Amino acid sequence: MTERLYYTNSFLHEFDARVVSVATDPSGRSLITLDRSAFYPTSGGQVFDTGWLEIGTSGRLQVAEVAENEKTSEIVHILDGGGSPLQPGTIVRGVIDSDRRRDHMQQHSGQHVLSAAFEKLHGFATVSFHMGDESCTIDLATESISSKQMQAAERLANEVVTEDRPVEVRFASPEEARTMGVRKIPPAEREKLRLIDIDNFDLNACGGTHVRSTGQIGCILVRKTEKVKQGVRVEFVCGLRAVGTARHDFESLTEAAALFSTHIWEVPQQIRKSLDEIKSAQKAQHRLLEEVAELQADRLLVTAPEGSGCKLIVQYFAERDLGFIKMLAQKLTKKEGVVALLACGGAQPSLVFAQTPGLANDMGALMKQTVQALGTRGGGNRDIAQGGAPDGDRAESAIVETAKQFG
């Protein structure tokens, strides 16, 4: 069992310890246990500390990950790469990455305050907590949450931050804890519970690292809420992470506002306006294309030669797309006795074969045969079929080739 120095002092960033055991995991990483450690192992939703183990002045070994052996209650320090020079009995100095630790303390302490605020204001219990690389989440036991409820809890939590209330660690038996009004008592039976007491606001059992007073949390920013299986998930960030996230958000908004030449608060309104304009422009474009297709169809019908019992139209459009040639095919085959073999270039070279419904040809079969020769895909029914072409030139030659079958 490792003596956990962070239990009583979250601000201890350097400590001396003796190596108890050295092992290697299947991936070749060294696993070191010490008689005492201030390194926090992943547990209770909080992620592990990183840092270094120093051996006198001869060098430092990077602690890449820290885990807990639940059976033995040992803290396992995982070093990248094997062959560490450590032996049982070696005296090392542990050094914790203090920026990472501070960030974790801000997130975790902020979570206590935010969870208590949701419970006090709305009776929503926190059922789980997750700390990610970018943001943290708590899951609340409720079917739904309104924006107003979320904002009220965020407001109360930040008031508690600005009041700079002391945060203390207490130890109590589970029986004592029950009489003290602890927010959530863990199910595992333990002799002594470690309680985190936020002065006159929250008392909760927790093994993590926390700030000395709520002012050190800095601030608590709720980012979003979403419905999940076990309730409602609330995403939030605290402290310097909140500043970094808000900065990122602000820069994105500023860039968007500059594109619209407007104030950042007007961005949503501008986006709605632009989306409306895009929609009506698309409608207008569609109408124009219909007109062009109509005119094109008339011109092609006038100039098309009469084949064996039908008008054969073979036309390649380098600059048009599949949507246009399909539209044109439909217009052409509204007339009696028309076969249209159309192709387009552009970003997606394509073919459309169509005939006036009821004619004797099989456009689907013809397309299958053509795309097989081109090595692409396509198909359709007896009257209309479409397919792909590797490029514009081959799309054009494919329709010329196919036209030969109509004499």
Phi, psi (deg, nearest 5) at residue 350: -145, 165
Q: What is the four-CA torsion angle of 31, 17, 64, 100, rounded to 10 degrees?
A: 150
Shortest Cβ distance from residue 206 to Zn ion (Å)?
A: 3
Shortest Cβ distance from residue 208 to Zn ion (Å)?
A: 4
Residue with smaller CB distance to Zn ion, 208 or 364? 208
Return d(Cα 312, Cα 310) in angstroms, integer: 6
Q: Quick check: 366 binds Zn ion (CB under 5 A)?
A: no
Residue with smaller CB distance to Zn ion, 206 or 354? 206
Shortest Cβ distance from residue 112 to Zn ion (Å)?
A: 5
48: nearest Cα among 73, 22, 78: 78
Residue with smaller CB distance to Zn ion, 218 or 349? 218
Residue with smaller CB distance to Zn ion, 206 or 242? 206
Residue with smaller CB distance to Zn ion, 208 or 387? 208
Shortest Cβ distance from residue 209 to Zn ion (Å)?
A: 8
Shortest Cβ distance from residue 33 to Zn ion (Å)?
A: 24
Residue with smaller CB distance to Zn ion, 153 or 297? 153
Binding part of the chain for Zn ion, among 93-101, 175-183, 201-209, 268-276 by CB under 5 A, reads 201-209
Shortest Cβ distance from residue 210 to Zn ion (Å)?
A: 6
Q: DSSP labels for 175-218?
A: HHHHHHT-S---SS--SSEEEEEETTTEEEE--S---SBGGGG-
Q: How many CA atoms lie within 13 A of 95 on its CB side?
A: 10
Shortest Cβ distance from residue 3 to Zn ion (Å)?
A: 20
Residue 6 · residue 51 · CB < 8 Å: no
How many other CB atoms are there within 10 angstroms of residue 250's CB atom? 11
Q: Quick check: 206 binds Zn ion (CB under 5 A)?
A: yes
Site for Zn ion in 311-330 (CB under 5 A): none
Q: Give the C-alpha distances (Å, rounded to integers) separating 15 from 33, 34, 35.
A: 14, 11, 11
353: nearest Cα among 372, 373, 371: 371
Shortest Cβ distance from residue 247 to Zn ion (Å)?
A: 27
As a whole number of Å, the CA-based R_g of the chain is 35
Residue 390 · residue 375 · CB < 8 Å: yes
User: Which single residue brings its beta carbon nearest to Zn ion?
Assistant: 206
Residue with smaller CB distance to Zn ion, 101 or 108? 108
Shortest Cβ distance from residue 205 to Zn ion (Å)?
A: 9
Site for Zn ion in 19-58 (CB under 5 A): none
Q: How many CA atoms lie within 13 A of 186 on its CB side?
A: 16
Phi, psi (deg, nearest 5) at residue 126: -90, 125
Q: DSSP labels for 101-124?
A: HHHHHHHHHHHHHHHHHHHHHH--
Residue with smaller CB distance to Zn ion, 197 or 383? 197
Return d(Cα 291, Cα 321) in angstroms, integer: 16
Shortest Cβ distance from residue 109 to Zn ion (Å)?
A: 7
Binding part of the chain for Zn ion, among 205-213, 252-260, 271-279, 326-334 by CB under 5 A, reads 205-213
Residue with smaller CB distance to Zn ion, 208 or 380? 208
Chosen residue from 41, 110, 208, 378 binding Zn ion by CB under 5 A: 208
Site for Zn ion in 89-118 (CB under 5 A): 108
Give the binding-site size for Zn ion (rule: CB under 5 A): 3
How many other CB atoms are there within 10 angstroms of residue 90's CB atom? 18
Q: Quick check: 205 binds Zn ion (CB under 5 A)?
A: no
Binding part of the chain for Zn ion, among 9-17, 207-215, 285-293, 398-406 by CB under 5 A, reads 207-215
Binding part of the chain for Zn ion, among 83-91, 135-143, 180-188, 199-207 by CB under 5 A, reads 199-207
Phi, psi (deg, nearest 5) at residue 354: -145, 155
Residue with smaller CB distance to Zn ion, 195 or 339? 195
Return d(Cα 343, Cα 394) in angstroms, integer: 10
Q: If residue 368 lies in a helix (H) or strand (E), which one and from where to where? A: helix 363-374
Binding part of the chain for Zn ion, among 155-163, 206-214, 315-323, 388-396 by CB under 5 A, reads 206-214
Positions touching Zn ion (CB under 5 A) are 108, 206, 208
